Amino acid sequence: MPVCVSCAYPAEHLYTTYRTKSNIRLGVCARCDAFLDPLIEHPGLLILLDLILLKPRVYLHLMFNRGHEPLSADQAGTQSVKDSSNPKARDKATTPFPDDTRGVARRRKRRRDVISWDMVRLGLVTILAETAVRWMSSINPQPGAGWGSPELVAQHAVTLILGLAVLWWRGWYPARNKAKSSERDGRQENFLPALIPLTVLYTSLLPLILQLVLSIWYTPQSSIHESVPSLTSSIPADGTVPLPFPDFLARFLLDRLPPTWADTLREVHADMSRAWVSADRVWAGTRLLGGMAAGFGLRVILPTRPWETMGIVLAGWAAGAGW
């Protein structure tokens, strides 16, 4: 069953067709009185822009509403005539046009096929983009630039396992208690485990393509002909590393710390500075953007808390990095 992109309430059909497929009428949510899914009329470019802007409704549209068949006006009229002659059917407040068991099974199979095809397509595009990024990294090698397919598999596997574990712990999937009619959650009723890796694929693909595009113009500091001041050139003769504070504040801080603490602080700052200078900042920035987008996407389709979602995403990152 599709869901409302505003409140995730389940619905029977998203829209009704009249005569031709171009003549449609959008369905209205029974709980929030908003259109169920206005994105079905939007072209792919607008959906892509909504995905870049991290709008919640685009995730509900892609995960739950794609591939659902509309309600035909002829079918609705025939059903209305049958219900009008049956007093018991007129008294029902919900599901005015119930589907038979065979129709429900057919719709579920169709949705599984759509999700499977999306995963295959996005997986192939991700592998191609990763291959291109690694090829660009071989031309201008940078530490930690690009992951391989085994790392991606590990990331998605850990994310899926932890996500399902959290849902089981919360009693959300599989559902333990049947919710009231006014409190029904279409995400829970139509949830499939494949939606977790599919969401991560959707959210990680755009930062990956951005990394590929930026790699064309990005030049590492080591290949620039101009002289770039390094960290070691600013280190005094005594081997101390300046702290990222004004001089008076650094002296005030170091004078009040024990000598061992001050030396440790200088060493930590030196290591962090060297790592920042030698790191691939484009890779780090796009990975950070991908992690934030993945956390937001999982928060839309799952009832997890922010710290739970952050833990799932970070654990997937750690597994992909081999930590």
Angstrom distance (rounded) from CA 150 to CA 138: 18
Give yes or no: residues 8 and 77 share one domain: yes
- Is the separation of the CB atoms in 300 and 203 below 8 Å? no
- Is the separation of the CB atoms in 73 and 24 below 8 Å? no
Angstrom distance (rounded) from CA 317 to CA 322: 9
Range(s) of the domain holding residue 252: 241-279
Give yes or no: residues 173 and 303 share one domain: yes
Q: Among 45, 63, 98, which residue terminates a domain?
A: 98
Q: Is residue 234 part of a domain?
A: no
Give yes or no: residues 19 and 91 share one domain: yes
Tell me how far apart the terminal alpha carbons of the chain are, to the nearest angstrom. 40
Q: Is residue 235 part of a domain?
A: no
Give yes or no: residues 193 and 309 share one domain: yes
Work out how many domains the chain is built from and give that number: 3
Give yes or no: residues 252 and 319 share one domain: no
Q: Is residue 233 part of a domain?
A: no
Q: Is residue 245 part of a domain?
A: yes
Residue 231: closest CA among 279, 268, 270: 270
pLDDT tens for the chain, residues 1 to 323: 899 999 999 998 899 988 776 788 999 999 999 999 999 989 989 998 999 889 999 999 999 998 888 888 776 554 444 444 454 444 443 444 444 567 678 888 888 888 999 999 998 888 888 787 777 766 555 544 445 567 778 888 999 999 999 999 998 998 877 777 778 899 999 999 999 999 999 998 888 878 777 777 765 554 444 444 443 444 444 444 455 556 666 677 777 778 888 788 778 777 777 776 666 677 777 778 888 899 999 999 999 999 999 999 999 888 877 66
Q: Is residue 49 part of a domain?
A: yes
Give yes or no: residues 300 and 275 share one domain: no
